[in-house]
Each structure stands twice: as C-alpha cells, then as structure tokens.
Amino acid sequence: MTIYVTGLGVVSAIGCGVEENLDALRHYRHGLDKVSLFETALDVPVGEVKLDNETLAGMLSLDKGFPYSRTMLLGLLAAREACRDAGITAGMPRTGFISGTSVGGMDRSEIFYESFRNDPEQGDIRLTASHDCADSTLRMARRLGITGFTTTISTACSSAANAILLGARLIRSGRLDTVIVGGTDALCRFTLNGFNSLKILDKELCRPYDNSRAGLNLGEGAGYIVLQNEKALRREPYCCLTGYANTNDAFHQTGSSPEGNGAFRAMSEAVTMAGITPDEVSYVNVHGTGTPLNDLSESRAMLRLFDNHVPPFASVKGYIGHALGGSEGIEAVYSALCVARGILLPNLRFATSIEETALTPVVRYSEGNPIRHVLSNAFGFGGNETSLLFSRP
C-alpha cells in the first residue's frame, strides 16, 4: 500500500507556516537568540517562536483568557495548516490524529507550582489541567474536528517521528484512511535546566557536525504532516512515506552508543522497508544536535550504512534549535519539501569536519536537485531511535 503525504504545517523559530520557514531556510536566516519567554539565570541561545501565547490564541480564535499550554497553541497552529493544506474537514470518517510531545503542559505547571509553593491556598488550578502530555493532543483534536482514533506519543526527541510511524502503520493495516501526525513542544524552565544539568547546552550558537561543536541550542515549535491512502487523496501529494523503523540500542539513559548501533539499525531497516538500496538515498536530514557524542555516533552509523559513500546530508538545528518532541514533526515537513522541490538544505556554521569521520555536510541551499529519497533521523534519550524515508511518488 502506498502512503501519501498530502498536507504540511509548521511553526518554528524561523517562521509561522510553511512558506515563512522555507524563505528563512533559503536565505540562511536562523531564529536563535536569548531567552525572552521566561526569566532564567542561564545565558544560552534558544530557538523561540516569535509569538506570545496571547497572540497565538488570537490567531487560533481561542479565548485569550484561558491558560492554554504553549505546547497546545503551537501544535494547533501547525496542525491546522496541515489539515487545510490537505483539504481535511471536521468530521471526516476514518481520520485519526497522533501527536508527539515530551514537555506537555509543563510551562503552565511551572507557573502554578510557584504560587502553590509559596501558599498552598493560592494558584490557578486550571494551569495543572494541561500538565499531562495527552491534554494538548485532545484539545487539538477537538478543535480540528477529529473524532476518530487519537493518541499521544512521548518518547523524548523521537516522539514526532514515532507518531508518524504509528500513523503509517494504522493506514497500512486498514484501520484509517487519513491521519494527521507530528509533534509539538514548548520551551520552559524545566527543559532548559534539565539539559543544562546534562552539560550539553552550548553557550554559543550551535555548530552541528563541526569539529568545534560544543553542545545544542534548545528550541520549540510544531510540525504536522497528513498521511493518506489512495482512496482518501484530494490533492497531488508532496511525496510518499515509503520506509520507517524504530530501534533501541539501550546503551545509556541519555546517550547514544559511540558506534551508532541503534542509528544504523533504524536507518538500514527504513531503507530496506522501502525496497531500495542505501546508494539510492539522495539526501539525509540528520538528527545532528551539535553535541560531541550525537554527531560522532550518527556519523559512524552513516559511514557503516553507506559504505563510506555518504550522500549529501545536513542538520537544520542550526536554524531552529532542537525542538525535542516537536523536532521531527518540523523536520518531516522540511524533508517532504526536499523531495517535492528537489531541495538540499544547508548545515549552518560548518567550518571543519569531525576529526574521526571527516564528513562534510551540505553548506549551500539549492533547489531543483534530482532527489528521489530523503532519509530523516530522530534519535531520543534512552536510545529510542527512529528513521523515516520520504520518496517521490
């Protein structure tokens, strides 16, 4: 069964909507800057969406006085664009919604806890309602008019990729005809402090795949794609989802294996599922966080898979930061555009290859390239690693 990608929606640090994101990518315009959403003692760059919650609620015609989580607001904005792009309407039969997130409504819970800690009789209890990861998914599904299968995936940084994988499996098994899939996450103190405790935040702008890389820059945002089988198609598809795989190397609670075992298996299984050989992959959207271990591990996995003939590859996290559970939602949108328009995306701030692997990513934006297959990686804590393969129809 062929699974088509028919709708795209995205909001990130470089823009609201597909065209704004594409324009920023084309002109090397990143969205990394100092934290402005909340007070913090940490002086590190982040990829914030340049819209406050009140503005987001207004754009979505929601009650500006209700304490919606930022995760939900960002997600709904992107998912709504994807649905409109694909011609999805409320109440369509055999339509599902699967959303990935790692933060959930933590940004609201933090505000409640501060008041509650000082006085247990104080604090807006409504702020805690959005704490659970599933809350954002359910609120988005209601607003989108989706009454079919709905669920939430939370597997750290591979959350959105696994949401896409599950959606494809539900279509392939005949349970759904259409499914909106992706992920959303918002920046908050919990996330920023947590990654700081791991000592993997770069105090400068991140440099994925560069020998001088020193850590990641966190980001936020959301990305969703619409998957459909042939009988549900209402428009010309962007591409097809031809392969996917999720593996777990179970090497460490937060780190990948130095040899890239899980990454190698995820990529190789996705390629095998698509019925192609590794040398047919045109471009790889790497996970590429900019941490010393991640980029080296992923490099080694690619060298194994492609037998030292690695195709063009790049990380977009130099543009948007690492949006955690929302990252592969955003990057799946970018990957679909790469297939549809023959785009090679640049890896910002690359200067010198990683000493151990000597790989050089794409550094210039270009369109009209003969791209047939794009491999997109999303690797999460605990070694939960997922690869997706997008192909020309």
* Per-residue pLDDT tens digits for 69-97: 999 999 999 999 999 999 999 999 999 99
Which of 352, 349, 389 is CA-nearest to residue 372? 389
User: Sign (positive/negative) of CA torsion 202, 346, 157, 149?
Assistant: positive
Give the pLDDT score at 126: 76
Give the pLDDT score at 24: 98
Q: Of 109-123, 124-138, 183-197, 240-254, give the lowest mean pLDDT range.
A: 109-123
Angle at 71 between CA 195 and CA 116, to 5 degrees: 75
Decide: 13 and 37 in contact? Cβ < 8 Å.
Answer: no
Domain-wise residue ranges, the chain: 4-391
Give the pLDDT score at 83: 98
Mean pLDDT of 315-331: 98
Asked if residue 125 has pLDDT above 80, the reply is no
Give the pLDDT score at 252: 67
Asked if residue 23 has pLDDT above 80, the reply is yes
Give the pLDDT score at 287: 97
Percent of the chain's residues with pLDDT above 70:
97
CATH superfamily of 4-391: Thiolase/Chalcone synthase (3.40.47.10)
Name the residue with tokens 């192609």: 276
CA pair distance 263, 119, nearest whole angstrom: 47
pLDDT digits (tens, 9 = 90+) for 283-308: 999 999 999 999 999 999 999 999 98
Decide: 97 and 72 in contact? Cβ < 8 Å.
Answer: no
Give the pLDDT score at 136: 95
Give the pLDDT score at 250: 78
pLDDT digits (tens, 9 = 90+) for 170-220: 999 999 999 999 999 999 999 999 999 999 999 999 999 999 999 999 999
Asked if residue 37 has pLDDT above 80, the reply is yes
CA pair distance 192, 205, nearest whole angstrom: 15
Give the pLDDT score at 253: 66
pLDDT, mean over the chain: 94
Mean pLDDT of 6-29: 98
Give the pLDDT score at 130: 76
Give the pLDDT score at 258: 74
Helix-helix angle 106-118:189-197, to 10 degrees = 90
Asked if residue 263 has pLDDT above 90, the reply is yes
Mean pLDDT of 342-367: 98
DSSP lists the bridge partners of residue 47 as 32, 219
Asked if residue 343 has pLDDT above 90, the reply is yes
